[in-house]
Amino acid sequence: MQVMSHGQFADPAVEARFQETARTLRLPFVRIYGVLFMLVALAYTIVNPLLVNPVDTAKLAVLFGAMIALAGAYIASTFWSGYIARPGLDFAALLGIVFLLGHINLILFDELIDMQEEMHAVGVMNRLGVSAFAAVVLAGRPRLFLLWLGLDLFVFLATVLPVQSHDAGMWYALLSYSSGAVIMLAINVAIDRSSCGAFALAEALEAERRKNEELVYNMLPPAAVERIRDGRMVADAYADASVIFIDMVGFTKLAKRVSPGHLVEVLNAFFNHADACAAKHGVEKVKTIGDAYLAIAGGNVTSGNSADSAIAFARDVLAGVAELQAVAGTDVGLRVGIHSGPVVGGVIGATRMAYDYWGETVNMAARLEGTAPVNGIAISESTWLRAKDRAAFGPPHNEMLKGMGETCVYHAGPAPERQTLPEISWVA
């Protein structure tokens, strides 16, 4: 929930957003009220010649004409783009209307007295209708509404005092005005508090929605999220992608020597560095598997030449090995395997969903990583053929890869050490 202070939100930006939202939502009612007020004034103008003497009818026609014109200008101002940010327009328009209303009431009351009409049920034009509207339209700005009430009282007294001859009538008028003003102030405060509470709740829900959406988009590509929302299956085929598999050398020994907290710190340093490099080179992080990092160029993230992007990404990650060793406090290294070809991507399952990639290209990249020199890169022939920058890679040689047979491999980095390839249980 947003914190409030002295009836306002503590954050000025939130307070400004609240005022703008509240006034925008009240806008249709402002226009409807203005039109209704013009219709009421027009009805009085039509009835007056039937009940009022010609001289007063002429005076009333001028006052009602001014009131209709003012109300019309007020309604027109609500269509101006700057209206929302200027509550002073409501203040001035309603004050002008209530000023005209006071003079109209004086003339109508005098007419009724001259006609010796009983006054028990006569309210002529009730100014509380304008006060009620001011309480609504100026909700959220209590000081402005209090100022409006004060000026309304001043206009009322300035209009009535010169013609009021009985103290009793004046006292009753003041009591009537005061009681009405207190009720209008209560309405103003009630609308303000309820609006603030609803807005704060909406802000909290929106912030939570944004956080959840950010988490979803962090796990899934935007296009996949839209399809999942529509209830569609997420399955894609990419004809030319480059899969990058990076593994940490010596992780098993390191896990036996350091505390769990330190181990997580080392992994965090590795993965955060790889994430930054992926964002820099337009490479998509797929997932982490233990101490391994799987990424792809040419998948959901657009890449010009997937092989070049994958190699540039791998070199950037390897450039951070020294910092990784500093965090680990011992010698650790990385191996990178890259293979280019077709892959299938998509989302499966209903819980803990993630966008994953499958196919021979993914398996080949994992096998190639095992042949790479420590802090070096192993790429397949298909990647080498797609790459423009081949100078760093030595001559091709054949490697026997488990499940793949004899494969042409190119290395960059220190000379590879022959070793028995470990079982990789996660590869199909």
Q: With 60 as the cut, is the pLDDT of residue 50 above it? A: yes
Of 165, 199, 179, which Cα lies nearest the Cα of 18? Answer: 199
Q: How far apart are CA 373 and CA 387, in angstroms?
A: 20
Per-residue pLDDT band for 65 (boundaries 50, 70, 90) equals very high
Per-residue pLDDT band for 2 (boundaries 50, 70, 90) equals low
Q: What's residue 79's pLDDT?
A: 93
Q: Which CATH architecture has domain 232-412?
A: 2-Layer Sandwich (3.30)
Q: With 50 as the cut, is the pLDDT of residue 120 above it? A: no
Where does residue 145 rank: exposed (0-12), middle (13-18), buried (19+ CB within 10 A)?
buried
Q: What's residue 217's pLDDT?
A: 67
Which residues does residue 293 pair with via DSSP β-bridges, in sequence order? 246, 288
Of the given ranges (107-121, 219-233, 249-263), which has the lowest mean pLDDT?
107-121
- What pLDDT, in 10s, does the model give residues 368-395? 998 999 999 999 999 999 888 787 888 8
Q: How far apart are CA 369 and CA 291, in angstroms?
A: 13
% pLDDT > 70, the chain? 84
Average of per-residue pLDDT across 218-229: 70
Q: Is the CB of residue 237 less than 8 Å from the CB of residue 342?
A: yes
Of 59-63, 124-128, 145-149, give the range with the top mean pLDDT.
59-63
More confident residue, 342 or 188: 342
Q: What's residue 423's pLDDT?
A: 39
Q: What's residue 275's pLDDT?
A: 92
Q: With 60 as the cut, is the pLDDT of residue 6 above it? A: no
Q: What's residue 367's pLDDT?
A: 92
Residue 163's φ and ψ, nearest 5 degrees, are -115, 0
Q: Can you tell me which residue has the tokens 């103008």?
A: 45
DSSP annotation of 121: T
Of 182-196, 277-291, 343-357, give the range with the top mean pLDDT.
277-291
Of 336, 241, 340, 344, which Cα lies nearest the Cα of 292? Answer: 336
More confident residue, 348 or 145: 145
Q: How far apart are CA 101 and CA 121, in angstroms?
A: 19
Of the given ranges (76-85, 109-118, 181-190, 282-291), which has the lowest mean pLDDT?
109-118
Q: Six-digit token pair at 245?
A: 């598999």
Q: Within the chain, what is the greatest distance between any pair of CA atoms?
A: 119
Q: Six-digit token pair at 43?
A: 């009805």
Q: How far apart are CA 334 and CA 266, in angstroms?
A: 13
Q: Where are the domains of the chain?
A: 4-212, 232-412
Average of per-residue pLDDT across 347-353: 71
Q: What's residue 425's pLDDT?
A: 38
Per-residue pLDDT band for 171 (boundaries 50, 70, 90) equals low
Per-residue pLDDT band for 165 (boundaries 50, 70, 90) equals low
Mean pLDDT of the chain: 81
Exposure of 84 in the CB half-sphere (CA atoms within 13 A): 14
- What pLDDT, in 10s, does the model give residues 261-320? 888 999 999 999 999 999 999 898 888 888 899 999 988 877 778 999 999 999 999 999
pTM greater than 0.85 (yes/no): no
Q: What's residue 276's pLDDT?
A: 93
Q: How far apart are CA 114 and CA 103, in angstroms?
A: 17
**List of residues 6+ apart from 51 with CB closer than 8 A:** 111
